[in-house]
Copies of this chain bind each other. A is one copy, B any other.
Amino acid sequence: MKVAGVITEYNPFHNGHKYQLEQIKRQTSADYIVVIMSGDFVQRGEPAIIDKYERTRMALLSGADLVLELPSVFATASAEFFAGGGVSVLKNTGVADMLCYGVESVDHELTKLVAGVLKNPPAEYSASLARLIQGGMSFPAARSRALCEYFQDNYDISLEKLDAFIASPNNILAIEYEKALMDCDITGFPIQRVGEGYHSTDSTSEFSSATAVRGVISTLIDIDKHNTITNMQLDNSWIFTKFSQLMPSDCADILADCILGGHIVFPDDISEMLYYRLLTWKDKGFAQYSDCTKELSAKIVKNIYKYESFTQFCNLLKSKNLTYTRISRVLTHILLGIENDDFNICMDNPYLRILGFKKSSGDLMHLLKKRASAPIITKVADAPYELISKDIFAADLYGRLCHSQQNEFTHGVVII
């Protein structure tokens, strides 16, 4: 039995994701695809647009055989820890032969070469990195530049090629995957992406990005008015038609139901709760929260009276060496109570939370039960609470935002 793994967000699932799953089956001849998917909060440091159960259903209807939750501690982390956490979950399943990931252009050798440098940084590279950060550059920018400098000096790779390679968020993630895979017998398998880039907002393409799809959803919903539909004339079939150009029709159906049911969540839906959290904690400071620093903590406290909303506050706090995403991630960590130690705690106390699976993947499930090196959780009530309390908290919070009638204890595993 051959099993391929994917680490992803599906926020929401679209044609590009469907294409990737098809390519995995075609290129790897995998019998099954295991998806490690972010829960209700995603790597950009914000809530997902629809909840993890609906996104699981989308994945299972479109080629995935088993969906496991990427714990919120990993799902909201920067690329390195997102990838590291995701790979650790995949490793713990004991069933995956390879990890497939999307790249702008397949250059497996270069990816592994860069990963090697990041894994065991040569002194020359480390010195450049330190110098550039000290010079006021943000960490991602400094890392790119330091890598370019290092490879230019030591390898026969053109600067343009390297620059373009490292500039892509998907390639950065690919490098982190390869880095995390170095210690285990799961093979990295890059898959050429199609369509628009990660940040693209073009929603006319058949392969629009998730960013673009979320953009289309936001035009339908008046964010200021508690997620009521802007144009009440919209009905399910109108919405379905709109989205079936961007995602598989099964998924468009699910999305249409979410939109009409008031289950869409936008980043600023966390504004009220986040303000409360910042207010409650401001006297203690925020330096203990993951990705935060003493300086950023002080900046948050200093600007608290300028807080209007989550996204406005991210924009207010961002600077030359602090990206929007870094800020949003920190604020989401504060909201979810994810602290500096939590990455290691989560690595040391692994679990496999099953969000859903296909009835037809009995053999895979059987193998999983046999080989898993971490507890498998199908029913939250039966799991050790301490182990998954951060994910339950994130889901409880999200459940209110998306007006869910269910909670982690009542929602069953998605089976199709």
Q: Which A residues lie at the B interface, using CB under 8 A?
A: 224-226, 272-273, 275-277, 279-280, 283, 304-305, 337, 389, 393, 396-397, 400, 407, 409-410
Does the CB pair A337–B280 fall under 8 Å?
yes
Does the CB pair A407–B305 fall under 8 Å?
yes
- A237 vs B272: C-alpha distance in the bound complex, in angstroms? 33
A284 shortest CB reach to chain B, Å: 12
- How many copies altogether? 2
Shortest 8 CB-CB contacts between residues of A and residues of B: A273-B276, A272-B272, A305-B407, A276-B276, A279-B396, A275-B400, A272-B273, A279-B397
Query: Contacts A224-B226, A276-B277 given; 8 further ones with Cβ under 8 A?
Result: A272-B276, A272-B400, A273-B276, A276-B276, A279-B393, A283-B389, A305-B407, A305-B410
Q: Note all chain B residues with C-beta closer than 8 A to A410.
A: 305
Question: CB-nearest residue of chain B relative to A279?
Answer: B396
Residue in A225, A393, A400, A410 with the greatest tally of chain B CB atoms within 10 Å? A400
Q: Note all chain B residues with C-beta closer than 8 A to A283.
A: 389
- A393 vs B283: C-alpha distance in the bound complex, in angstroms? 10
Q: Note all chain B residues with C-beta closer than 8 A to A337.
A: 280
- A241 vs B301: C-alpha distance in the bound complex, in angstroms? 44
Question: CB-nearest residue of chain B relative to A283?
Answer: B389
- A324 vs B248: C-alpha distance in the bound complex, in angstroms? 50
Question: CB-nearest residue of chain B relative to A393?
Answer: B279
Q: Note all chain B residues with C-beta closer than 8 A to A396.
A: 279, 304
Q: List 17 A-B contacts (CB under 8 A).
A: A226-B226, A272-B273, A272-B276, A272-B400, A273-B273, A273-B275, A273-B276, A275-B400, A276-B276, A276-B277, A276-B397, A277-B280, A280-B337, A280-B393, A283-B389, A304-B396, A305-B409
A164 shortest CB reach to chain B, Å: 43
Q: Note all chain B residues with C-beta closer than 8 A to A280.
A: 277, 337, 393
- A304 vs B283: C-alpha distance in the bound complex, in angstroms? 27
- A337 vs B393: C-alpha distance in the bound complex, in angstroms? 20
- A397 vs B274: C-alpha distance in the bound complex, in angstroms? 12
Question: CB-nearest residue of chain B relative to A272?
Answer: B272
A391 shortest CB reach to chain B, Å: 13
- A98 vs B310: C-alpha distance in the bound complex, in angstroms? 50
Question: CB-nearest residue of chain B relative to A397?
Answer: B279
- A224 vs B279: C-alpha distance in the bound complex, in angstroms? 25
Q: Note all chain B residues with C-beta closer than 8 A to A272.
A: 272-273, 276, 400
- A304 vs B276: C-alpha distance in the bound complex, in angstroms? 18
A405 shortest CB reach to chain B, Å: 10
Question: CB-nearest residue of chain B relative to A409?
Answer: B305
Q: Note all chain B residues with C-beta closer than 8 A to A275.
A: 273, 400
Q: Note all chain B residues with C-beta closer than 8 A to A226.
A: 224-226
